[in-house]
Structures are given as structure tokens and as C-alpha cells.
Amino acid sequence: RTHTFEIYNLQVEDSGVYEMRTPNLTVKTPEIKVIPKPGPKPTEEEIRPAQEVIRKSSVTIDMKKPKEQLVETQPVEEFQPVDENIPVHEVTEGDMMHLTVEKPSNVHLSDIKLFKNNQPLIPSKNIHTETTSPTTIDIKFSPVELIDNGFYSIKIRDQIQPIMQLNVRQKPIQRQIMNLPQDTFIENETLTIECKFDSKPNTEFIWTKDGSILYNDSRIIIKQKNET
């Protein structure tokens, strides 16, 4: 997948730091400077045809080979079960997890209920339960999410048994700096930034300038190309 960010007809006020963000990844430009064009300021009629031959600057970023990367994590509040003998599983947001639980052979899956923090588990797209044998069921987290953090138990008919304490760590935030071919532009030029991914990201991106979110308009174009 390729993400392209373009600003046409650059103005001096477009100077600043641009950043592409996801919950777990930020890619930041160096300080972009836009300097006034020498000579008298062109009229709108003069600018329009000139845009067709504007010099562009672009960069392709390989997300698997970051130029600079810092890692930071946020603490997650943990629900602590009373029984200290309950297994504790430490996982990271985005991990895949399978848990096998034994059951009587004469109990059907429909007679089994999962509980989280002593409350019935709310149905979720990422948690799946299936029978793998007459005496076992498989609980699959695909993938593990931060909201899955908690104490899990299982109700088989009228008996509730503890399963585990699941502690989910937040996925580290990767910070990268773009290495642009140039960081100084002249008024009316076009800034083009192309970010190319080796694998398809599972979240949407936003672009910001000095912390403010940017949207498509008459001069800004944000687009993505899905490649198979």
C-alpha cells in the first residue's frame, strides 16, 4: 500500500512540520520551509498554467527499515483476580493467542459461557470459541486488543471456573523521521511525500501539520493506492 500526500501551489504559511500518524506509528518530516518567490507576486491566472510544470520533491519510505525509531509504552490498568494460583498471560496488543480449555464430553458448546471480570463476555469480532475435541474447546484471540485485558472465567452449566488473568500491553509506538531530498521550497511549487509499505497496515492514517489534522481541499490531496 502506498500513501501519497501532496500540497499544490505552496504558500509561505505552509511552512512547518508534517506528520503521518496511526495509533502505533508516526512518521515526521523535518521542518519544511517555504520561501517567497522572487519578483512580483503572480496573479491567479498566472499560477494555474504554471502548476502543470512545477518541480516536485518526493520520498519513498520503507517502513521495515526505519531511519530513526523510538519506543514508548503506556501502562495498562490490570484487573487482579483473588486467587493467586490463576495463570497469568502477558501479551502485547496485536498478538495472536489460543487457549485450550477442558470440558466434560457430554457438554455442548452452547452450554458453555465465558466471563470477563466476573461479567458475561460481550460478543466480539476478535474472540472466537470452538470445539476442537469431545473434551476440549479452543478460545482464540485474533488479534488481542487492549480492551481484552482482564480476568477470564468459564461457566459450564452451573459451575464457574477461573481460566486466566490476561494482561495486555500496549503495542509500542514507532517514531520515524523522513529523509526528504529537500526541505526548502519556493512559493507555488508542489510538495509530494510518498510513503510505501511492505505490508498492508491494519489502521487508517491521518496527516497533520504542526499537530493540526489536514484534510483534502483545493490544494491538499491525500490518497492511497492498494497494491496486491
CA-to-CA distance for 23 and 97, rounded, in angstroms?
21
65 vs 186: CA distance, rounded Å = 31
More confident of the two residues 71 and 186: 186
| Span 132-191, pLDDT tens digits | 999 999 999 989 998 999 999 999 888 889 999 999 998 877 777 787 888 899 999 999
Q: Answer with the residue of higher pLDDT: 53 or 146.
A: 146
CA 65, CA 19: separation in Å to the nearest integer?
18
> Domains in the chain, ordered, with CATH?
2-71+173-225 (no CATH), 88-169 (2.60.40.10)
pLDDT band at 46 (very low <50, low <70, confident <90, very high): low
Query: Nearest 5°: CA angle at 95, between 102 and 139?
Result: 20
The pLDDT value recorded for residue 86 is 86
Residues 99-108: tens digit of each pLDDT: 898 888 898 8
C-alpha distances in Å from residue 27, one per residue of 31, 60, 67, 147: 13, 12, 10, 26
pLDDT attached to residue 227: 52
What is the tens place of the pLDDT at every residue in 203-218?
678 899 998 999 999 9
Please state the separation of Cα 113 from the chain's center in Å: 32
- Residue 196 confidence (pLDDT): 75
| Strand 190-196, strand 60-62: pairing | parallel
Task: Indicate the average pLDDT of the chain.
Answer: 79
Q: Strands 190-196 and 2-7, how do they pair?
A: antiparallel
3-state secondary structure of 147: helix
Closest CA to 191 of 3, 4, 2: 4
% of the chain exceeding 90 in pLDDT: 38
Judge contact between 204 and 22, C-beta under 8 A: yes
In whole angstroms, give the CA distance from residue 5 to residue 50: 20
Using one digit for the tens of pLDDT, what is the confidence trace for 73-107? 344 444 444 456 788 999 998 899 998 988 888 98
Determine the pLDDT at residue 56.
46
Per-residue pLDDT at 58 exceeds 60:
no
3-state secondary structure of 110: helix
Distance CA 213, CA 205 (A): 11
- Tell me, what's the pLDDT at 44? 64
Q: pLDDT band at 116, cuts 50/70/90?
A: very high
User: Could you tell me the strand order of the sheet in which 159-169 lies?
Assistant: 88-92, 159-169, 150-156, 112-116, 119-120
- Taking residues 62-77, report their average pLDDT: 41
pLDDT at 45: 64
